[in-house]
Structure 1
Amino acid sequence: QDYRVPAISLFAEENGDGARLTFSDSAEDTRAGGQALAAASIIVHSGLWLLYSKPFFDDDPYVLEPGGYPNLTAWGAKDPAICSMHPIRLGCPVVERAGEPQAVIYEATGFQGRSFAVSRDVYDLRRLPGPPLPTVGSLRVLGGCWVGYEKEGFRGHQYLLEEGEYHDWTQWGGYDEELVSLRLLRTDFSAPALVLFEAMDFEAGGSVELSEALPDTQLAGYGPVTRSIHVLSGVWVAYEGPNFSGEQYVLEKGVYRSCEDWGAADCRIASAQPVLQVRAAPSAPLPQIQLFSEPDFLGDHVCFEDDQSALPAAFVPRSCRVRGGSWTLFDGQAFAGEQHVLSEGEYPTLSAMGCLSSTVIRSLQKVPVFFSEPSIFLHGLECFEGKEIELNNEVRSLQAEGFNNHVLSVRVKGGIWVLCEHGDFRGRQWLLDCTEITSWMTYSGLQHVGSLYPLRQRRIYFRIRSRELERFLSVPDDAEDMKAGRVVLSSPSDQSSSVWYYEEGLIKNQVAPTMSLQVIGPAGKGAKAVLWSQNRMPRQTWSIDSSGRIHSQMFEDMILDIKGGRSYDRDHAIIWDTAEERPTQIWDIQVL
């Protein structure tokens, strides 16, 4: 184990000669003046380093352990370009496949004897199918981060289990051979932060806030006694002794008001470290759903990444996992019949999926990605007349919120919504994207809506390509250093960034996360669109429709366009009235 500050030196010439640059922290873009940093040799002084040939941790990294690398061949590279890098402190637990949990339990040491593959919590090993296992002899963790416990019901000594192989109980740091229950850590591992308090229940007294590993609390001027803990984010492992030794306690986001809450018999905490996740390049989560023929993810299973108009006739799903995106399940073929909308998560039974015990799923369909803020209008009469209810967030029960749930027409202005027959999202469901339903009675057979909610999606990274001009909307790489960044059409290059994302109605570029796409100057045809501080008021939001038009939500009937002509700023983004004769108003959104 190595708990020193990570350090790496890059040299302009082989064998550690020439100009030298030393880094001790993550660098998302090392380029200067558009030129990539070139390294002919490297020395890793401490830590485990991931080096990328592209900025923003894009592409597959080179993984370098402490030691010398006298030439490109030594670390397997053909190109000396190093455009971004990220250190992983040796000794800190790491998870790579947090979204693909799987562990294989073996009866005997050395991966011998009977084995069981598990992908969810195990309350008591002795209750697994077949002859009971008294304990775990050996273990392979293929994906995810797990906690092993000495006793059933997630009690007793705790052991953090990273991805890897454990030949016997000594390799997971056990006090003895007992390991009877397993729990999967289902959480966000990013931006770890926690606060240790000397007093119970966060009362007055000493405290220390951590965002990285601390081998000895006394180094931070904090004593060895901790009576309450607040985990602000991430997953942490706290240790009874210094240098990450002794009894360990796995802490997830939340509050722990006393030592009993984290499973300790006393209040000694002398060191702590976060569980770190090795992240891939920015991308959308791949839509994926796994269907199982038995409850609790048992039996035969099938996995799909695309729409299925007809499932195999002999396969009847009884549980499922949604690994990416949201999906609509139908009890009829060709996407017909009753709908059951599922977002990312685990559904161990038909009931958890919102189905009756007699339901047979016959087809399934991905919910498309969307770029608009949730907005829906419910009307008391047909054709959008009568009383109007405007909603932007979920409502568990219209009646409980004081609304009359009598609804005869519906207009969805933004987002994708799920409308439910009864309160608490029960009963029949209908998935609606931007649409107008003049007669809810004809559409659904009902004259009311019990509850409703907008679907949420993870951050989506994309490029914005002009369908007419076949170039991409881009900004300079140094945009965040300026008050305003130009937004222009260009070909993908190392001098500009064409990767965007959508966040709460704002269109943002990955090189300038504190800025967003905004219109400056007098609001009218030809006004320029630039990157500007996202805190500028009033807030300027956008939506992207299915035809590829990017609408300003502030300036009615104005959409994103390119100026054109022959002037110096002909490639600059502007807003303009919707006009069929301007093909430059149509964009292709290329999800990464």
Structure 2
Amino acid sequence: MSSKITFYEDRNFQGRSHECDTDCPDVHPHFSRCNSIKVESGCWVLYEKPDYTGYQYVLTRGEYPDYQRWMGYNDTVRSCRTFSYTSEGPYRMRIYERPNFQGQMMEFSEDCESVQDHFRSRDIYSCNVMEGYWTFYEHPNYRGRQYFMRPGEFRKFSDWGATCATTGTSCVTLIIFYQDRHFGGQHYECMSDCTDLHSMFDRCRSIRVESGMFVIYDRPGFMGTQYFMKRGEYSDYMGTAGMNDCVRSCRMIPMIIFYEDKNFSGRFIECSNDSADLACLLKRCNSIRVESGCFMIYEKSNYDGNQYCLRRGEYPDCHHWMGANDSVCSCRLIHMEPSFNMRLYTRIEFGGQMMDLADDCPSVKDRFHVNDIFSCNVTDGYWLFYEHPDYRGRMHLIKPGDYKRFSEWGGRSARVGSIRRILDC
């Protein structure tokens, strides 16, 4: 049976339309926006960007009068793929708590509403899909960002397009705006800074902050009166905050919480920026919750010692951030940048062979045929150097700037096994 999907520029199947019956790596020439869809036959995966990249949405046969029906974050659809399946199965997959099919393993042959309840872990680092097509969701109960999983081996979470290993729980910072009080009417979900919300809704009378913290503004471009919103429900925030129903822009506030004991218990401190000395505030650190943003934590004060990059998510003990002990004495906020570019050198002070890099590199030796990096120049983006291939071992944060020798990025030797960009968290 052939597949068929129809895209409409406006809601409720209005405006310009385009029919498609096969994979298409770039649908942008056919329509500028997509606000409703009819799937007449087959199953489809939609992508926010061309060439099957960006946010993914899995659609089965049915009608979707607005993009919220397919859990879209906006009206952008740039590519699509069709796939065939049978609802009778069989279905079979294995998930692992470490890359390359290591650590605890659990096998699934049916739906799972909450990964943590069954797997006792929030993180899936690799998986093997033996039979059937599956969808990973970021939140429990099939909510949040989706990842389409075909039969095959996925040795690390980036293989299925994810930016972190957390699945089936709150991995994203999320604020939901509702047009009416008590979470009624149309709603819009937002997971990052937004300079103009007016195109998404004309009024806002209740808000739910599911994770993270935000500042909302009554004018576009982060202008006007500001209101601080932390995690919680605001069923009638107009009466509580004394503001009108105009919400025109919002900005996410980075936040990391350090706990003295495991499983987010004991004394804790909150931090939203760089801190050169945490030891005076906290004797030990056995668990961490990153509400929003991306942070580098250090074993010693003044950004020294072993380094660990933490993205949004929960780390119930030091092993979850690959730490060797409960010592966290400083932290640094990592600022996201849109472009990435760096040059690597095989000799100190930018001598020897020079190599350009603009994307992730799972093995420096395989790509450049060298084992050691003695100096580097970072013009764009924040990066991580790893001691071993496949992003394993001791890591070092590499910010924009010149590094004339490996000791300037904290390395004990020139050995660099793999390199990864720090993308949006």
TM-score range, shorter chain: 0.3 to 0.5
Higher-Rg structure is 1
**TM-score, normalised by the number of residues in structure 2:** 0.44
Q: Which has the higher contact order (CA 8 A, sep 6+)?
A: 2
**TM-score, normalised by the number of residues in structure 1:** 0.33
